[in-house]
Chains A and B, each alone.
Chain A
Amino acid sequence: MPLNYTDTKAYRADEKVQHSQLTDRQKRHIMKNSLPAPVENRQPTSTLSAKPERRSRLGIRKFTLHQIHVLIFACMHGLFSLYIRIRQIINVVSYQLSSVLYYHHATPQYIQKDVSRLNKLPKHLSAILKSDNRRAAVDLDRLVDETAELATWCACAEIPQLSVYEKTGLLKKHMPRVYEAVTQKLAFYYGGDHPSLSVTSPHRDSYSSPSLDNSLGHLKLHLISEQDGRESVVDLTRTLAEMSQKGKLSPKDISMELIDNELSEGIMAEPDLLILFGPTVQLSSYPPWQIRLTEIFCLKDNETFGYQVFLKALRNYASAQMRRGK
């Protein structure tokens, strides 16, 4: 209700004293000014003579208003596309520049130096990688490579856990390959000794390197897909329903803690930071239960996967504060 200035003032003054100042009529008057016209009840009028003329006038007025609206709509969108193109160009150029500026040179020391200035790091990082359904074979190479890069950066930044979400589940199907690729990448970055690695996925065997007590740390890479989202909640419900049908559990026993426990044990725990490598904030069926308080980072208009996105996300995370409803 966009009230005019005097009405707003009166309204606010009235509010201060618990709405006791204004009388009923005054309040109605204030509201009436800003209300839309009452919904007209079209009743067939018997006065035929007056009808055609009025209707045609109304029609013309409506028609012109509609034309004006269409015109303004077209103008607005024309200008807006122009604006968004310019914004995209500016952003992409600046991201390109920063990717040159912040380059890791495949050296863990550089990444550690970049990260050391941050006052807090996520303990559990997650990322959504885009997949293109049409060219699965080409896509797999790219996805595996991106996962390997990201995992290595995490290992260098000493982030102990990384969950990679890929909608179709392509990565999950090729876990050994992912494991190989990440190990190779780690060896490439670190030279000889590199942090140990374990690759896991819900309901699948894990792959882990033999020596877990490594001085350089350990990275847990977790692969998830669309199935671990809504579908997993449905599966849990099925299990619970079956249990309750057998009398092992009453619906009252189902608590938030129970569900949280099951989903974080069975699927994954809540990540601290989620990085989107896409131009817009869209979660593409990411597990809903787990993104409750996750900090979501998306670089506007960015289409590329790169180290600068990772670094900016970490910086953003370090500067964000958690209030938890307080």
Chain B
Amino acid sequence: MSDVVSILRRFVFESPPGEWAIKQLRELLIGALKQGPVPQHVAFEMDGNRRYARSHRMETVEGHHRGFEALARIMEICYKAGVKTVTVYAFSIENFNRPKYEVEGLMQLAKVKLEQLTTYGDVLDRYGAAVRVMGQREMIRDDVLQVVDKAVARTRHNQKAILNICFPYTSRAEITTAIQSTVAEFLAPPPPKNTPFSQTRIRQNILSRQLNGHDPLPTIRDSSPEKQTQAGDGAYAAEVEESGDLDEGASSSTTLPPDSPPPRLRDGADQSHLPNPEDITVDTLDSHMYTSEDPPLDLFVRTSGVERLSDFMLWQCHQDTQIFFLDCLWPDFDLHHFIWVLLEWQWRMKQRDRDEAPGRRRHVKPRKLVE
């Protein structure tokens, strides 16, 4: 009985008219979905390639190849539906712990696919899609890295859609890198500016005004004790606060771990030119994340029924991103799974707009304007 069904299925789905009809149906559904709000940034955690390979009795690497086909399918749907940015988790830093054979296979897969992108670059041009690779570049093998750079450069000019490939990536490493580069940025004095305004004159102006009764500096300090107590680490904040008042050399001996480099003391004049660390805000860190140029993450999809984020997009998805955990394996993932996710997402957006007062609708823009 099942044989008959499968033959019938094959007859319907694999014959040219059947394929044509399905293609038309897909186009119609995607076109219809486009009529509502569409998420601007979608992240996929492509999980389940190996389980798929195991259940279909094929090699693990082949499972990853099927996963790539699914990715191409989903990219197509996203592109047609009007999603601007798609971020996929291709390879985690933790994945280096997998058997060497499999890691090799994955690297080879990435290399071959990206190589094809460069040779047939006009394919992505038609989609208007740019590829970007996010992650710890220094961990990529040299020959793969070359291909990566070539592919990125080849598609850079496209603006319509963006595919972010996270390779080798973990979100904690991303946040660490962001903190690191922010700190480095605040270590460098701002570029000299050519302005007709003299800084000393302004400072003198302010000082003279302060002496006339207004004393804004101490009042700011007094009014924000809460801020200081809530600093990332109370102990550190207190220590730094203290050391600001004390002599530089005296306090550095207490805070310095023994293995860190000798303190590079700066003279007072140099330090006053440095930007104020209190100016660091969420937006500063945001602009140092890999996704700084992308719209906020609207939708996060993880396949294969695992209900964890597994170090992916932690910074981006912990606010009001809608997270979906699906049961199907990634190579099986197709429009008939994704359409439910999109429909539910649209439905929730409608629901949220209805719940919120018209004036309090979420605006995506202000965050970008600050940068």
What is A's interface to B at a CB cutoff of 8 Å?
Answer: 1-2, 4-5, 8, 12, 15, 18-19, 27-28, 31, 34-36, 38-39, 65, 68-70, 72-73, 76-77, 80-81, 84, 202-203, 227, 229-256, 259-260, 262-263, 265-267, 280-289, 291-298, 316, 320, 324-326
Within 40-62 of B, Cβ neighbours of A (below 8 Å) are at none
Instruction: Name A239's contact: one of B123, B181, B236, B348 (CB within 8 Å).
Output: B236
Contacts A241-B182, A296-B308, A326-B98; A285 near B318 (Cβ below 8 A): yes
A325 contacts B183, C-beta separation under 8 Å: no
Q: Are A256 and B173 in contact (CB under 8 A)?
A: yes
Best-surrounded residue of B14, B69, B308 (most CB of chain A within 10 A)? B308
* CA A247 to CA B253, docked complex, whole Å: 12
CB distance from A11 to the nearest CB of B (A): 8
Q: Are B230 and A283 in contact (CB under 8 A)?
A: no
Contacts of A245 in B (CB 8 A): 186-187, 266, 271, 274, 277
B280 CB contact (under 8 Å) in A241, A263, A280: A241
Interface residues of B in 217-237 (CB under 8 A from A): 229-237
Interface residue count on the B side (C-beta < 8 Å): 101
- The answer to whether B172 and A203 touch across the interface, beta carbons within 8 angstroms, is no
B179 lies within 8 A of A35 (CB): no
How far apart sit A236 and B235, CA to CA, in the bound complex (Å)?
11
The smallest C-beta distance from A95 to any residue of chain B, in angstroms, reads: 18
Q: Assess the A242–B277 pair: CB atoms within 8 A.
A: yes
**Given A238-B277, A240-B179, A251-B184, do A291 and B19 touch, yes or no (CB 8 Å)?**
no
* Residue among B97, B180, B182 making CB contact with A325, cutoff 8 Å: B97
> 14 additional contacts, CB 8 Å, given A234-B285, A267-B232?
A4-B16, A36-B126, A69-B32, A72-B31, A80-B347, A235-B232, A237-B285, A241-B277, A245-B187, A245-B274, A247-B263, A250-B264, A283-B321, A288-B171
Q: Is the CB of A293 within 8 A of B308?
A: yes
Residues of B within 8 A of A (CB): 13-14, 16, 19, 22-23, 26, 28-29, 31-36, 65, 69, 72-73, 76, 79-80, 92-95, 97-98, 112, 116, 120, 123, 126-128, 171-173, 175-176, 179-184, 186-187, 229-237, 240, 243, 248, 252, 255-256, 260-261, 263-266, 271, 274, 277-278, 280-282, 284-285, 306-311, 314-315, 317-325, 343-344, 346-348, 350
Write 6 A-B pairs (CB below 8 A) sorted by A numbering. Answer: A69-B28, A241-B183, A243-B240, A254-B180, A254-B183, A255-B176
Instruction: Find chain B residues with CB under 8 A from A80 CB.
Output: 343-344, 347
In the complex, what residues of B have CB within 8 A of residue A65's CB?
31
Task: Give 7 closest A-B pairs by Cβ, nearest first.
Answer: A325-B94, A236-B232, A235-B232, A72-B32, A241-B277, A73-B35, A281-B323
Alpha-carbon distance A238/B318, docked complex (angstroms): 21
With A2-B23, A36-B127, A280-B322 already in contact, the answer to whether A259 and B186 are too (CB < 8 A) is no
